[in-house]
Amino acid sequence: MAKNDNSVNIENAKAAEGERYHHGDLRSALVEEGLKRLQQGPAEALSLREVARSVGVSATAVYRHFPDKQALLHALADVAGDRMASAFETAMAAAKPGKDAFDAMGRAYVHFALKNPFLFKLMMSPEMMSGIAAEGRPRTRGMAMLTSALSELSGGKMSSEVQNIRRLQAWSIVHGLAMLMLDGLVPADEKLIDDVLASKIV
Amino acid sequence: MAKNDNSVNIENAKAAEGERYHHGDLRSALVEEGLKRLQQGPAEALSLREVARSVGVSATAVYRHFPDKQALLHALADVAGDRMASAFETAMAAAKPGKDAFDAMGRAYVHFALKNPFLFKLMMSPEMMSGIAAEGRPRTRGMAMLTSALSELSGGKMSSEVQNIRRLQAWSIVHGLAMLMLDGLVPADEKLIDDVLASKIV
DNA sequence: TTCGCCATGTTAGCACCGTAAACATAGACG
DNA sequence: CGTCTATGTTTACGGTGCTAACATGGCGAA
């Protein structure tokens, strides 16, 4: 067993979770803990000190792995983007091509948002998405999938400008519905989602 | 001049803006200052102490007029709601009835959001809108106007359920577009707004 | 007018936050 | 074995929202 696939075996990571001075894989643990908290509350309510405490490490240890709080949030947004992309993939796979797939994407979008409200909101926040820093980062993977899928699906017989507008219309209605439901302005009713998305434009 | 209309003349309010112990109209001043700051930054970045400092009063004076920070934010959201309602009124007045008025509402919605991004976001946030506490409050006036106008406009020859769905579709697309542009995910282009809203459903 | 109430301010102090600086530990590698 | 360096720790600073206790001063009743 010379060099088999024990790829990341930095001193056995979390095995023997004693009180070693060096954690083993703090960065992952912090992200994990962050994700757990984003299942229960908004990113604004996420405190570095609290996360560190939960992981069992001093508050400032976080700074060995993230230059500041924003950086941790960016990492979490990246995970969110990946998860959203996965959701899209399975949604697309389960639907047959054409308009069916199109609707599937829309529903997947809203469902992802409703099932991961805080993760979704974090990912969509200007701080995460804006700026060239976000270009090509994992957190944009979901968005990239969405737009490219919409491009394919929304019919190729239109000029690219019209196509672009159709795409934006689709994105708007889906995003708007998700936001309205997320913010409690509209009841997050399953049937309502179907009804609203069923007869949508495009 | 027995009892003429000097309605609110509490020691001349802001006349002689000296360093009197009692401010005269602190509450209004705080709201004013809050609004000023919401023109330049998000509600999350609004600090009570800073607002108090700007108004020239101690940090804790705020608590004589608002039980906590949320309360001040609620007051600001109320102003936002009123302003949005006004925007709708003028938009409706300028448009002739029918589909024209309908489009006018949509554009007014997006424009209001883009011109008052932080106020809009504050107003729409769950903390402001959710709960029965918000029912009938000024901050919901904009929303109320919107939905009632949409009801009237979206044609009366549909069942109320279908009507409801149409209304929600309209709201979704308009809200979604506003949010995407607000969050920088889509360029806030004037022409783009027209294009997206022009051929919308309903 | 004088007294005292009380709305409206104040200062002091608490617990929390993000973060910088300096120090401690221990694994890796010469 | 010795030292370098990645990764932890403690300490400290200035900021926050908020509570408690005290100060001011305008207004109505005695």
pLDDT digits (tens, 9 = 90+) for A71-91: 999 999 999 999 999 999 999
Mutant choice from A114, A127, A146, A173 vs B, greatest count of B C-beta within 10 A? A173
Please, what is the average pLDDT of chain B? 86
Residue B97 (CA) to nucleotide C4 (C1'), in angstroms, measures 63
Contacts of B201 in chain A (CB under 8 A): 199-201
Percent of chain A predicted with pLDDT > 90: 65
Kindly state the average pLDDT of the residues A174-184: 97
Kindly state the average pLDDT of the residues B100-109: 90
Kindly state the average pLDDT of the residues B12-18: 43
The confidence band for B36, taking pLDDT boundaries of 50, 70 and 90, is very high
Q: Distance between the two ends of chain A, CA-based, in angstroms?
A: 57
* A15 or B180, higher pLDDT: B180
Check: CB of residue B46 under 8 Å from CB of residue B37.
yes
Domain boundaries, chain B: 14-64, 70-198
DSSP B96: P
Instruction: Write down the CATH superfamily of domain B70-198.
Output: Tetracycline Repressor, domain 2 (1.10.357.10)
Check: CB of residue B155 under 8 Å from CB of residue A160.
no
Q: Which nucleotides of C are covered by protein (CB under 7 A)?
A: 7-13, 16-22, 25-28
Q: How many interface pairs between A and B have CB atoms less than 8 angstroms apart?
A: 94
**Whole-angstrom Cα distance, residue B49 to residue A113?**
35
Decide if B179 and A179 are in contact by the 8 Å CB cutoff: yes
Q: Which of A125, A173, A184 sits opposite B183 (nearest CB)?
A: A125
What number of CA atoms fall less than 13 Å from residue A146's CA on the CB side? 27
Q: Own/partner pairs for A19-25, CB < 8 Å, 24+ apart?
A: A23/A55, A23/A57, A23/A61
Kindly state the average pLDDT of the residues A121-140: 88
Question: The CATH number of A69-198 is which of 3.30.70.20, 3.40.50.920, 2.40.170.20, 1.10.357.10?
Answer: 1.10.357.10
What number of CA atoms fall less than 13 Å from residue A82's CA on the CB side? 9
DSSP A180: H
Please, what is the average pLDDT of chain A? 86
Residues with Cβ within 8 Å of residue A49, at least 6 apart in sequence = A59
CB of B58 within 7 Å of some strand C atom = yes
* 3-state DSSP assignment of residue B32: helix
Decide if B172 and A196 are in contact by the 8 Å CB cutoff: yes
Report the candidate in B142, B155, B147 with the shortest Cα–Cα distance to residue B99: B155
Kindly state the average pLDDT of the residues B90-113: 90
Residues with Cβ within 8 Å of residue B168, at least 6 apart in sequence = A177, A180, A186, A192, A196
Contacts of B126 in chain A (CB under 8 A): 182-184
The per-residue pLDDT for B61 is 97
> What φ, ψ does residue B99 adopt, rounded to 5°?
-60, -30
Matching fold, domains A26-64 and A69-198: no
Q: What is the DSSP string of A40-102?
A: TS-GGG--HHHHHHHHTS-GGGGGGT-SSHHHHHHHHHHHHHHHHHHHHHHHHHHSPTTHHHH
Residue A163 has pLDDT above 90, yes or no: no
**Minimal Cα distance from A123: which residue of B?**
B183
How far is Cα of residue B77 from the mean position of the Cα atoms in its chain?
A: 6
> Does B124 reach chain A within 8 Å, measured CB to CB?
yes
**Domain B14-64 of CATH type 1.10.10:** yes
> Does A172 reach chain B within 8 Å, measured CB to CB?
yes
| Out of A112-126, A130-144, B143-157, least confident range | B143-157
- Using the Cα atoms of residue B66, residue B67, residue B69 and residue B70 in order, give the sign of their dihedral: negative
The confidence band for B9, taking pLDDT boundaries of 50, 70 and 90, is very low
Contacts of B125 in chain A (CB under 8 A): 183
**Whole-angstrom Cα distance, residue B55 to residue B53?**
5
**CATH architecture assignment, domain A26-64:** Orthogonal Bundle (1.10)
